Homo-oligomer: A and B are copies of this chain.
Amino acid sequence: MNETVHPKRSRRSSGAITLRDVAKLAGVAPITASRALNTPAQVSDEVRQKVLEAVQRTGYVPNRMAGGLASSRSRLIAAIVPSTVMSVFMETIESLNHSLFDAGYQLMLGQSDYSAAHEELLLEAVIGRRPDGIFLTGILPPGRARTRLLASGIPVLETWDLTPTPIDMLIGFSHLDIGRAVASFLMGKGRRRFALIRAQDERAGRRATAFAEAVAQSGHADALVINVGDARSLKGGREAMARVLREAPDTDAVFCSSDLLALGAMTEARAQGILIPERIAIVGFGDVPFLADMVPSLSTVRINGADIGRQAARFLIERAEGRAVSPSIVDIGFTIVERDTT
């Protein structure tokens, strides 16, 4: 009876139940308990039974930090998005998160606010967690952040854009193609005087430029370009549309860099009694879920965000588990969804 009755844990212990406790209760070695939980096929039925019972009784929850440290596999995936509120990226993040969770991975979310400086800080913090993969929205331009990431050896998936020279994997679509496609779509409808309402976002800029070049090459007057700060501001769209109507009253088609800006533009047009699509056609970008049911419903460019998320999860997990088989560059394309506003 001189054994410790209160099994005094070392002063450093966190106090939680550990695999050792479980193993002791099950009467096996810790590594055997570990195998019973992680690779059950490697263990006899009887042992597995006893270990699971001990887990139940103790309420043991494995410490993934310890596991990750020992195995160099954190089962953590980091995602960096420019914004979350009312944003077109959330559909992707939602499906990514689901797919990851089903495979036993956890998502760490970082928000860059469209700032390169912030993104660099974020990446540094993220690398410190040693995630098994990093999901980036956009292409990471050459620079310190990219060098760091490369040096870290963590699998990286860039999305939402195309480049012949990704860091590693890429799932995206061409913003230039979208600009051109929307331009021909509208020209095909007989529209002749164009305006662009675009947020301060480099990718939106490329769509706009491609659009403007396409209409110019077809011999039309230069498109009027209105810059607004925030892609999520309906108000910005309203004000931009007011300027369009003032500065180029003969405009008959407007391409907006987000659905919310488009909704703002529609709102202003309606407030001024301008008929849509009769007088002016409007096209948005993103296909946020609910605008399909507005009256009039918004024509827009649809990106299959959920599909990006699913494929991203697959790619990242494949890399994490060392079976890299998928092609590393995927163009996921886009669709012009025609509804009432054109």
Given that A85-B289, A234-B293, A294-B234 are known contacts, is A64 also in contact with B129, CB under 8 Å in the complex?
Answer: yes
Given that A101-B110, A107-B109, A290-B260 are known contacts, is A130 also in contact with B84, CB under 8 Å in the complex?
Answer: no
Contact string against B for A residues 213-238, beta-carbon threshold 8 Å, 1 for contact and 0 otherwise = 00000000000000000001111001
B130 touches A14 (CB 8 A): yes
B128 touches A238 (CB 8 A): no
B74 touches A85 (CB 8 A): no
In A114-163, the 8 Å CB interface with B consists of: 122, 124-130, 148, 151-153
Task: Judge whether A335 is part of the interface by a CB distance below 8 angstroms.
Answer: no
Please, how many angstroms separate the alpha-carbon atoms of A69 and B122 in the complex? Answer: 22
In A276-294, the 8 Å CB interface with B consists of: 288-294
Contact string against B for A residues 66-98, beta-carbon threshold 8 Å, 1 for contact and 0 otherwise = 101100101010000001111000110110011
Given that A65-B129, A127-B61, A130-B64 are known contacts, is A271 also in contact with B290, CB under 8 Å in the complex?
Answer: no
B65 touches A130 (CB 8 A): yes
Interface size class of A (residues with CB under 8 A): 35 or more
Chain B binder among A41-49, A170-178, A262-270 = A262-270
Q: Which of B97, B101, B106, B290 contacts A86 (CB 8 A)?
A: B290
Task: Judge whether A322 is part of the interface by a CB distance below 8 angstroms.
Answer: no
CB distance from A303 to the nearest CB of B (A): 14
CB distance from A300 to the nearest CB of B (A): 15
Please, how many angstroms separate the alpha-carbon atoms of A151 and B17 in the complex? Answer: 10
CB distance from A297 to the nearest CB of B (A): 10
Q: Among the interface residues A62, A106, A271, which one has the most CB atoms of the partner chain B within 10 A?
A: A106
Task: Judge whether A295 is part of the interface by a CB distance below 8 angstroms.
Answer: yes
Please, how many angstroms separate the alpha-carbon atoms of A319 and B110 in the complex? Answer: 22
Query: Assembly of this chain: how many copies?
Result: 2
Given that A65-B130, A151-B59, A290-B86 are known contacts, is A108 also in contact with B111, CB under 8 Å in the complex?
Answer: no
B16 touches A153 (CB 8 A): yes
In A169-191, the 8 Å CB interface with B consists of: none
Task: Judge whether A328 is part of the interface by a CB distance below 8 angstroms.
Answer: no
Please, how many angstroms separate the alpha-carbon atoms of A91 and B83 in the complex? Answer: 10
Task: Judge whether A63 is part of the interface by a CB distance below 8 angstroms.
Answer: yes
Task: Judge whether A15 is part of the interface by a CB distance below 8 angstroms.
Answer: yes
Smallest CB gap from A14: residue in B? B72
Given that A101-B110, A128-B62 are known contacts, is A293 also in contact with B270, CB under 8 Å in the complex?
Answer: no
CB distance from A199 to the nearest CB of B (A): 14
Smallest CB gap from A267: residue in B? B295
Given that A86-B90, A238-B293, A289-B85 are known contacts, is A125 also in contact with B106, CB under 8 Å in the complex?
Answer: yes
The 5 closest A-B pairs by CB, nearest first: A234-B290, A235-B293, A14-B72, A64-B128, A234-B293
9 A-B residue pairings within 8 Å (CB atoms): A62-B128, A64-B130, A65-B74, A65-B129, A106-B126, A106-B129, A109-B109, A232-B289, A267-B293
